[in-house]
Amino acid sequence: MAQVERPISPHLHVYKPQLTSVLSILHRITGVGLGAGTLLLAWWLVAAAYGPDQFEAAQAFIASWLGRLLLFGFTFSLFYHLCNGIRHLFWDAGRGFELKTVYTSGWLVVIASLGLTAVSWIAGYASGDAL
Amino acid sequence: MSHRTPAGRVHGLGSAQHGVDHWWAQRLTALALIPLIIWFCISIIGLIGTDHVTFTSWLSMPGRAVAMLLLVIATFYHMKLGLQVVIEDYVHERGWNVMLLVLNNFACVSLGTACAFAVIKVAVMG
């Protein structure tokens, strides 16, 4: 019997992106991104263990434009994953499932992660200038 | 009391009895990482552009070294669990699936060990 070409379940792209679905996939994307970012953390720590020259090299890379760009992405990913992770922990505790609450907490996560990223970078530049 | 039928038990069907371990470990590490990440971010902002001597003396304080070790352990454990789910969800081809799951374990354990060793070395020997 020939294989029947049955319709498969709807592809995701037929759906209009919503805050809930976008934030959901963003949690995974930032998680994977942070995983890649741990290479930078490992380099930085291991360089410190090797000695002053290697540590200076790592610090110089982080201070470069590419380093800052990566660090900016890392900072936002970290705060987003942290805030949305807390949102997930509330769901795990069985709270916040009402549609209205899901949207409120979603927007809160967006605002908090953008705000924390901005505050960190302002504090970072202030701290760097103070040296 | 179990509602499993004796036949079901004999066939070894159903849960392998450790399905919740992954879920629970991911939540425990997430919970641990909340204060650790906040501490790390505040600390790192104060350490921008520091030289080697300043950084090593900063990390040589026992409380900081222990906090950094906990951060490293929780981070790489959480990362291993998270990346595992991503691989299981998106990589369906059996060979790639197994290979990536193995690589994920090796990478997370190796990176975590390297970071932990670096923290201990810097904290103890400068």
Q: What is the CATH number of the domain that holds A125?
A: 1.20.1300.10
Over range A95-124, report the average pLDDT. Answer: 97
pLDDT above 90 as % of chain B? 81
Residue A131 has a pLDDT of 54
- Let me know if residue A59 belongs to a domain: no
Stretch (H or E) spanning B78 = helix B62-90
Judged by a CB distance cut-off of 8 A, whether residue A89 touches chain B is: yes
Residue B6 has a pLDDT of 73
Which residue range(s) make up the domain with A119?
A: 18-35+64-130
Rounded Cα–Cα distance for residues B78 and B84 (Å): 10
Neighbouring C-beta atoms of residue A107, cutoff 10 Å: 11
Rounded Cα–Cα distance for residues B121 and A27 (Å): 34
Q: Hey, are the CB atoms on A42 and B115 less than 8 Å from each other?
A: yes
Give pTM, 2 decimals. Answer: 0.89
Q: How many domains does chain A have?
A: 1
- Is it the case that residue B16 has pLDDT exceeding 80? no
- Let me know if residue A72 belongs to a domain: yes
Ordered by where they begin, the domains of chain B are 20-125 (1.20.1300.10)
- The number of angstroms, rounded, from the C-alpha of A44 to the middle of its chain's C-alpha atoms is 20
Lowest mean pLDDT among A125-129, B36-40, B52-56: A125-129
Angle (deg, nearest 10), helices A65-92 and A19-50? 130
- Let me know if residue A99 belongs to a domain: yes
Q: Give Cα separations from B103 to B13, B80, B98 (angstroms).
A: 29, 10, 9
The tens digit of pLDDT for each residue in A111-127 reads 999 999 999 999 999 98
Interfacial B residues in 24-43 facing A (CB < 8 Å)? 27, 30-31, 33-34, 37, 41
Rounded Cα–Cα distance for residues B43 and A46 (Å): 18
- Let me know if residue A85 belongs to a domain: yes
Residue A130 has a pLDDT of 62
